[in-house]
Amino acid sequence: MSRSHNKKRAPRVLVIAPHPDDEVLASGGVIQEHLRKGHSVKVILVTCGDGQRRGLLLPPKHFLRLGERRYRESLQALQLLGVHEKRIIALGYPDRSLAHLWAERSQPHISRYTKAHAVPYEWAYRPGAPYTYESLLADLTEILTTEHPAVIYLPHPRDRHSDHHAVYLFTRAAVHESGLRPQLRHYLIHYGTWPFPVGKCPDKPLLPPRSLQHGEWITHELRTEQLQRKCQAISCYRSQMHYIEDHLFSYARRNELFDLSPSSVSRGSRIRLPRLLSGLRRGRSSVQSRA
């Protein structure tokens, strides 16, 4: 029976990142913890980060090269954390366009940067896949159905970057399509000036923004060596280090945060800060127990 076979299978974890670097910033510590426990970890890069607002006038091949470069940076960073290249899936959808894919539905989208209307990378999951809602949803659903993850790390619905919000929507839709019931752990990257202060402060805890403290946050405390590895991995994103180095290192804290039941709409500005720590179940994440 397949049931006894399934019993022996290591728990499967999926990390879904809109851009190369989100996977390490959000979960570079907890990925190491999962691997330490013998869990199977796969990472999905939805885009290769092949867009750049400042360079719109540059030729398409510049952005194709950027996409390839950023993909390689993720491979290198994740290898440092123990994730083999074979366990990294690059979907190759267009950077800064995922909200369009979600909204436009059937029309193929053309990237403003690469000018591609289909996945242009031969090393991607499905080269030539059209830039459509159906295509991205089908890829994610297929991967979920194959992997059967017990836990998925995905963007928080209140993340203010449109690609991040769209990846949340696509992942929720794919989970629904797959009929699976994985635990969803939502991570935040873009939210105003959060995390504050900017820059490397590894002794400081990462706390939820005050306006999002109503969520059900769990935290993973990084071991010393996990934090060191995470910092080394962040340094691999050299294409980003030039101009947002301080910002990237703002995520190198002594813990990582995940919201189990986020609200996707604003609940207004009522803030009850004293409740913050009670809502934050410190060290209680299932990957955290060190029995």
Give the residues lining the site for Zn ion (CB under 5 A): 18-19, 22
Minimum Å distance from CB 226 to Zn ion?
A: 22
Q: Judged by CB, which is closer to Zn ion: 18, or 149?
A: 18
CB of 101 to Zn ion, least distance (A): 15
Minimum CB distance to Zn ion, residue 48 (Å):
12
Burial class (CB in 10 A: 0-12, 13-18, 19+), 47: buried
> Smallest gap, in angstroms, from Cβ of residue 17 to Zn ion?
7
**Closest CB to Zn ion among residues 155, 208:** 155
| Residue with smaller CB distance to Zn ion, 19 or 214 | 19
SS3 212: helix
Provide the minimum distance between the beta carbon of 167 and Zn ion in the complex, in angstroms, as a whole number. 9
Nearer to Zn ion, 18 or 28 (CB): 18
Based on CB atoms, which residue is closest to Zn ion, 22 or 139?
22
Q: Which residue is nearest to Zn ion (CB)?
A: 19
DSSP 264: S
CA 136, 18, 183, 231 torsion-angle sign: positive
**Coil vs helix vs strand at 30:** helix
Element (H, E) at 241: helix 238-249
Between 19 and 254, CB nearer to Zn ion: 19
Beta strands across the sheet bearing 183-187: 88-93, 40-47, 12-17, 151-155, 183-187, 255-259, 217-221
Alpha helices in 41-161 (DSSP H): 60-81, 98-104, 133-147
Distance CA 190, CA 242 (A): 19
Please give the structure tokens belonging to residue 78. 């994740």
* Shortest spacing between CB 23 and Zn ion, in angstroms: 9
Neighbours of 86 (CB within 10 A): 7
In the complex, what is the shortest distance from the CB of residue 129 to Zn ion, in angstroms, rounded to a whole number? 21
Nearer to Zn ion by C-beta: 18 or 215? 18
Report the nearest approach of Zn ion to the CB of residue 278 (Å): 30
Cβ atoms of residues 108 and 135 within 8 Å: no
Kindly tell me which of 27 and 178 has the beta carbon lying closer to Zn ion.
Answer: 27
C-alpha closest to that of 16 among 74, 102, 101: 74
What span, in angstroms and rounded, lies between the C-alpha atoms of 212 and 266?
Answer: 9
Question: Residue 98: is it exposed, middle or buried by C-beta count within 10 angstroms (0-12/13-18/19+)?
Answer: buried
